Amino acid sequence: MATTKDLTKVQAHLAIASFSCGVAIAAACLFVIPPLGEIASSAISIVSELLVLAGALLGIKTSFDVKMRHFENEIEEARRRFDGGDSSKDEHYED
């Protein structure tokens, strides 16, 4: 099963690939495909879709990271309340 770290790497790689493809298509339309200097509407459409995909992937990652940090902070706060606010008690527990 894939871990969160693996999924984050996949999202980052997909976002970079989408952005790179969008820039490459735009550059090809401007400098390689005739008429030079003009980008067809279909090329603009696909470039915008790739850029939106890249932004969405990065937005999902950021949202997940923020929610995970918030959840971790809530757990830590609950643990402190349960332990009476003393975080050094963990060292005194024995199995």
Between 5 and 94, whose confidence is greater?
5
CA-derived radius of gyration, the chain: 23
Give 95's pLDDT tier (boundaries 50, 70, 90): very low
**Which residues, 6 or more positions from 12, have their beta carbon under 8 angstroms from its beta carbon?**
57, 58, 61
Between 87 and 56, whose confidence is greater?
56
The most distant pair of C-alpha atoms in the chain lies apart, rounded to whole Å, by 76
Q: What would the pLDDT profile of 67-92 be if each residue is shown by its tens digit?
A: 888 888 999 999 999 887 555 555 54
What separation in angstroms does the CA of 28 have from each of 19, 52, 82?
A: 14, 19, 61
Model confidence, pTM: 0.56
